[in-house]
Amino acid sequence: MINPFDDIYFMKRALQEAQLAFDKNEVPIGAVIVMNNQVIARAHNLTETLNDVTAHAEMQAFTAASDFLGGKYLKECTLYVTLEPCQMCAGASYWTQIGKIVYGASEKKRGFLALKTTLHPKTKVLGGILEEESASLLKRFFIEKRNLN
């Protein structure tokens, strides 16, 4: 059966969010949370706008998804995020008991894999979906930043 709602599709939705961050001069990272092929939350990094280091795309998406569902746990949900989550966001995912995390580009230095953050035992992980697109948006952002300074 043809399914248009695949990982590529939802990562593109997360990339749209990352582009919104880019347009606001925020480090371009975007996330969506999906349940039964429906996007129930979307968010992008707002750490500069909100002057708050906790305002990562994933954190906002967790809060929004719980609010939408009226329940604290996201067991039946998948998080799509353009960059590998950090310790804080992976640590938050532990508490949400999210079913799956799909990320785009790797974060070799501050990502949860390098820093060995413990996920919930039921959370599956898949990386590298639209990795190049996610990474190139980030790279473009930092090149433009450098040229402005």
3-state secondary structure the chain: CCCCCCHHHHHHHHHHHHHHHHHCCCCCCEEEEEECCEEEEEEECCCCCCCCCCCCHHHHHHHHHHHHHCCCCCCCCEEEEEECCEHHHHHHHHHHCCCEEEEEECCCCCECCCCCCCCCCCCEEECCCCHHHHHHHHHHHHHHHHHHC
Q: How far is the CB of 59 from its own copies (least distance, A)?
A: 6
The smaller minimum CB distance to its own copies, of residues 71 and 132, is found at: 71
- Indicate which residue of 17, 26, 58, 107 is catalytic: 58
Annotation marks residue 107 as catalytic? no
The smaller minimum CB distance to its own copies, of residues 82 and 96, is found at: 96
Summarize as ranges the residues that interact with its own copies (CB under 8 A).
47, 51-54, 59, 62-63, 66-67, 70-73, 86-92, 94-96, 115-118
Burial class (CB in 10 A: 0-12, 13-18, 19+), 1: exposed
Establish whether 56 is an annotated binding residue. Answer: yes
Q: How far is the CB of 93 from its own copies (least distance, A)?
A: 9
Q: How far is the CB of 96 from its own copies (least distance, A)?
A: 5
The smaller minimum CB distance to its own copies, of residues 75 and 132, is found at: 75
Active site residues: 58
Positions at the binding site: 56, 86, 89
Which residue numbers belong to the known binding site for Zn(2+)? 56, 86, 89
